[in-house]
Amino acid sequence: MNRAVPESAARRCAQELARGRVAVVPGSARATCAANIALVKYWGKRDETLNLPVAPSLSVSTGTWGSTAEIAVLPDAAGDKISLNGKQLPAESPFAVRLSRFLDLFRPDARFRFSVETANAMPTAAGFASSASGFAAVVVALDGLFGWGLRARELSILARLGSGSASRSIEPGFVEWRAGKRSDGMDSFGVRLDAEWPGFRLGAVVVSGAEKPMGSRAAMRHCKATSPFYGAWPPTVEKDLRTVRRAICARDMELLGATAEANALAMHALMLASRPSVFYPLPETLAAIRRVQELRAGGVPVWFTMDAGPNPKLLFEAGTERKLRTVFPKLEVLAPFDDLSQARA
């Protein structure tokens, strides 16, 4: 190995999984992965370099909303060539810097350069984490390019090194990210649940496309260090995870919705209590949440979840969509299980 490639725990992990498998094939490789929304949230790392979580989490994929990555080897280039949604990015742009650092984990030698074209099939302002689907798609494309032939859980480990929630975007459907116990993270990966729910729907209520005040990495570190409620988070997650798994098996929307909503609110409560407070909701967020509560009080089965941003995501079944559209006319509705066969192919 060329010593000039920066050595790190993450690179050691990447090299270990790919060892003996590197067989560069000429040409390029392309992959698409769906994004995901956590029903039981990931909030807090036990290892910041390897993105190892304090607790497990569980998500559902976002159907046709995801990212595509096309990767090729770039001979004789000074740097990687990275484009996003059809536009080539300056090497110093935050996205290009983050992706090039991630690609460092996989360069056979320090002079090795990649060309990466990524595109997101979701409105970037809708608050759907395109980093999860983006890193997952990059890893699956690298697997194709180098011919590693890794299994889903190994791809999940590599995607996790780019962004924690990307570990849940290698496979579609309901995915549980096992926290693991090992310090090298080899037991921390996403596992797809053997359950489908064709009528399950996600709705995006876009209240703001503005940049969030604090990114998830810094916010997690701050909350873990300063929130007086952080100690209650891991046991809350363990309990909610068991309940959500049960709700998925029984296709019990009320149990799933109520538990996912309570879990998201518990995460936001611990954020609010950190010092200084990490506060993502806007007035429009609270108005949307009130409308969900009123709908429910009127007998409409709808719940919400919310990540590190101001845009709530609605959780409901197909039969409720028409009613919700009268209250949220701009609702973007996603069917996580609609294109599973395509995603699996």
Tell me which residues touch ligand PMV (CB under 6 A). 38, 41-42, 57, 129, 131, 163-165, 216-217, 307-308
In degrees rounded to 5, what are phi and psi of residue 70?
-120, 120
Tokens at 62, concatenated: 């976002």
Taking the least distance from each CB to ligand PMV, the nearer of 5 and 247 is 247
Residues forming beta bridges with residue 59, ordered by sequence position: 38, 175
Q: Is the peptide bond before 108 cis (omega within 30 degrees of 0)?
A: no
d(CA 193, CA 174): 6
State the minimum distance, in angstroms, from the CB of residue 165 to ligand PMV.
3
Taking the least distance from each CB to ligand PMV, the nearer of 61 and 320 is 61
State the minimum distance, in angstroms, from the CB of residue 125 to ligand PMV.
16
Taking the least distance from each CB to ligand PMV, the nearer of 89 and 264 is 264
Strand 45-47 relative to strand 57-73, pairing: unpaired
Taking the least distance from each CB to ligand PMV, the nearer of 42 and 316 is 42
Tokens at 155, concatenated: 């791809």
State the minimum distance, in angstroms, from the CB of residue 323 to ligand PMV.
28
State the minimum distance, in angstroms, from the CB of residue 11 to ligand PMV.
19
State the minimum distance, in angstroms, from the CB of residue 306 to ligand PMV.
8
Tokens at 71, concatenated: 């990767």
State the minimum distance, in angstroms, from the CB of residue 39 to ligand PMV.
9
Tokens at 31, concatenated: 């992959």
Taking the least distance from each CB to ligand PMV, the nearer of 130 and 320 is 130
Taking the least distance from each CB to ligand PMV, the nearer of 214 and 300 is 214
State the minimum distance, in angstroms, from the CB of residue 240 to ligand PMV.
12
Strand 174-177 relative to strand 190-192, pairing: antiparallel
d(CA 329, CA 317): 17
Taking the least distance from each CB to ligand PMV, the nearer of 165 and 320 is 165
Going by C-beta distance under 8 Å and a sequence separation of 6 or more, which residues neighbour residue 65?
Answer: 34, 35, 121, 122, 128, 133, 334
d(CA 223, CA 245): 27
